[in-house]
Amino acid sequence: MSGGEAAAGPGAPPAAPVTRRGAHTVRWVMLGLGAGLLVGLALLASRLGKDATYVPSPLIGKPAPAFTLTNLDGTKVTNADLAGKPYVVNFWASWCTPCRQEHGSLRAFWERYRDQGVKLLGVLYDDTAGPARAFQKELGGDWPLFLPNEGAQVDFGVRGPPETFVVDEQGIIVAKFTGRVGPGQLESAIAADTRRRGSGR
């Protein structure tokens, strides 16, 4: 027996085995975190490149927030001015890549519904008039553009562009889309609301 070891007496209990419970706990925690990260990445990957998602919102089914927006030409528009016809509020920015990607869908919607009195309002988010005008000149479309309005952003719960809200003729929010709007999505929202009102619900 070496001098560094203590001898156990005849009546001494056997030494308890050394456990690595702490190491096992850390291992399971790390495995759990890793699995959660993989799931999160998979969900993110499934969303990349796809069109906007219809997002359940506490605002849906409620009156649109009151607002006063200033057009790039200086004129003002309020929610009361839009009463009696559906309208769409699109929060966007010229520096926003998804906004560029959705522009064709917005343009198609505008061309289809403008003569029916449906309004499309392009509200800038953290942007200025010059780049916004250049953006619209490059990609086409002539729906009205409005300067940023922090009050409207807060009231609509906007976290970043693009976010789009569909409001019916009674001023009720009937749909919200987060991310780029895809072909036909706004048209479908308007058509669904028209059917709903036609059925009396």
- What residue type is assigned to position 148 of the chain? P
pLDDT > 70? residue 90:
yes
Looking at residue 18, its pLDDT comes to: 46
- Check residue 32 and give its pLDDT: 55
Alpha helix ranges (H) inside the chain: 21-47, 97-113, 129-139, 150-156, 185-198
Q: Is the pLDDT of residue 134 over 50?
A: yes
Q: Band the pLDDT of 195: cuts 50, 70, 90.
A: confident
Distance CA 94, CA 131 (A): 6
Domain ranges of the chain: 20-49, 53-198
Torsion of CA 99, 55, 188, 100, to 10 degrees: 0
- CATH superfamily, domain 53-198, is Glutaredoxin (3.40.30.10)
* pTM of the shown model: 0.72
